[in-house]
Amino acid sequence: MVRKVTLRKMGGSVGATLPKDMADRLHVGAGDELFVVETDQGILLTPYDPQFEREMAAYERTAAKYRNALRELAQ
């Protein structure tokens, strides 16, 4: 769905307001945190931390390498 929003000055920042029906469909509301990601096509708003995926990949590499040591530590 494509919606047009207007940017407004909010203190020292610029903000956009999501229409209520869109916010309801996306299950977001006041106080929720979203991550803003710059892409080649523009801006992406997501509730998922893009850094988390990289951190999990690093953990999986480490966990595979030190599987036996982690198993011993768990006992």
Of the chain, the end-to-end C-alpha distance in Å amounts to: 51
Mean pLDDT of 65-75: 86
Predicted TM-score (pTM) of the model is: 0.59
Beta strand segments in 1-75, E: 7-10, 13-16, 35-39, 42-46
Q: What is the domain extent for residue 63? A: 7-74
Q: How many domains would you assign to the chain? A: 1
Residue 8 has pLDDT above 90, yes or no: yes
Kindly state whether residue 2 falls inside one of the protein's structural domains: no
Residue 51 has pLDDT above 90, yes or no: no
Q: What is the CA radius of gyration of the chain?
A: 20
pLDDT confidence band for 64 (50 / 70 / 90): confident
Kindly state whether residue 66 falls inside one of the protein's structural domains: yes
Helix (H) or strand (E) holding 30: none
- pLDDT tens digits along 29-47: 999 999 999 999 999 888 8
Kindly state whether residue 37 falls inside one of the protein's structural domains: yes
